[in-house]
Amino acid sequence: MKRIAAKMLATPSGLLADPIVTIEGAHILEISTRSARAIAHLDHDFPYATITAGFLDVHFHGIAGQDVMNASSDGFQEIAQHLARAGVSRFLPTTVTASLDTTVSSLQRMAEYVETVPLEGTSQAVGIHIEGPFLSHEKRGMHPAEHLRLPSPELLDQLWEAARGHIRLMTIAPELPGALATIRHATALGIRCSMGHSMATQAEAIAGMQNGVASATHTFNAMRAYDHRDPGILGVVLDRDDLYADLICDGFHVAPEAVRLWLKMKGPERAILITDCLSAAERPDGTYMTGDTIVHVEGDACRTDTGVLAGSVITLDRAVANLQKIACAEVHSAARLASVNPARMLGLPELMEPGALADFNIYDADGIRRHCFIRGLLIE
C-alpha cells in the first residue's frame, strides 16, 4: 500500500485541496485529505503540486521508429515505454489507410497486443482506432487515394473480426454512400464514431450525428472550410454542445486563434487533445516512412512530399503544455482534455476515484509535469 499527498487533486468533478491518495496494487483504494485523516507515513509528498489523471491518446500512429501498422510485439512494448515516459497511461493504436490485406494483418497484430497484459510501468493499449479507409478523397490528407473504400457494414464486420472486437473508435466521412448505415452498425457494436477527413455539408454532418456520431477527428484539419453561409461540417462541430471534438495542438496544424476558438466553443467537457503522433516522433530531423507514405520531419513539423501536414511528432504531454501556453489554460483544465474527456467519449470507466487504476501525473507549482504514476508505479 502507498500513500501520496499533494496540494491539489484534479478529479472529474473538480479540484480537491490537500489530497491523500491511497494506492493498493494497481488501483486507487481511497481518496482523502490531510485534514480528514491523520496519516503517520506518506510514501510520496508533493506539497506544492497538482495531481491529474493519466493521459489517454485516442489518435496515435507510432513513435521512436515504431509504427503501429507493422510493429512487432517487442515494437509495441517499446512504444508503451516511450508513452509512459510522456505521462500517457493508455492509448489507441491507430491505423492509416492501406490495402485491405495490410489493414487486416495490422489489426490482427494490434488485437494481440491489446490482449497482452502490459509490462509493469508501461502504457496500455485499450482498443484500436481505425482512421480509414472510410475517408473523403478530397480531404484524405496523407492517406493513399488508391486504398480508400466506400463504407459498408459488411466491410466493417471484416475489420471488426480481424481486430477481434477491439475497435473502439472509427473515423468516417459521413457524406459517403453507405456511411450512415455503417455508423449505425458501428454504434451497435460499441464503436464510437468520429467525423473526419470529410467534405460533409451541414446537413450531412447533422445526419451523421443523428445516426450515432459522437466526436470529430482533428478539428479544422481535413475538413470542409467554414463559410458563413454554408458552415458545413466545421460549423456543426463547433456549434453542437453534444459533440466531442479533438484537436492537434502542436503549433503547426491549428493557429493559436483557432485553438482558442475551439476551446471556447467546445468547453472544458467536450474538447479533447490528441497527437496524431507518427513513428518519426523522438527521431532526428530527416525522411521517414509512415505506412506507404514518405514524410519529412523538420523540427516539430512533419510533411509529405507534396507539403501536406502528415500527423505530428509530439507526445500528449507536450500537447497539454502547448494548450496551457496558447490558451492560458490552467494545468488541471488542460490535463482534463487529455484524460477525462477522451475516456468519457469512449465510454471508459471514470478516472481518479476509488477503484480506478492508479494512473496520474504530477505537475509542479509552475504547471510543469514532473512525475508520472502508471498502475501505481512511479515512472522515473
Chain CA centroid to CA 69, Å:
17
Proportion of the chain in helix, strand, coil states, percent, rounded to 5? 30, 30, 40
Angle at 141 between CA 135 and CA 145, to 5 degrees: 60
End-to-end CA gap in the chain: 19
| Residue of 7, 10, 6 lying closest to 339 (CA atoms) | 10
**Cβ proximity of 139 and 98 under 8 Å:** no
CA distance 62 to 302: 13
CA distance 269 to 119: 31
Q: Is 87 helix (H, G, I), strand (E, B) or coil?
A: coil
Cell numbers that stand for 299 in this block: 523540427
Using only the alpha carbons of the chain, give its radius of gyration: 20
Residues catalogued as catalytic: 276
CA distance 186 to 200: 19
At residue 66, φ and ψ (nearest 5 deg) are -100, 125
What residue type is assigned to position 167 of the chain? I
What residue type is assigned to position 351 of the chain? L
Chain CA centroid to CA 315, Å:
10
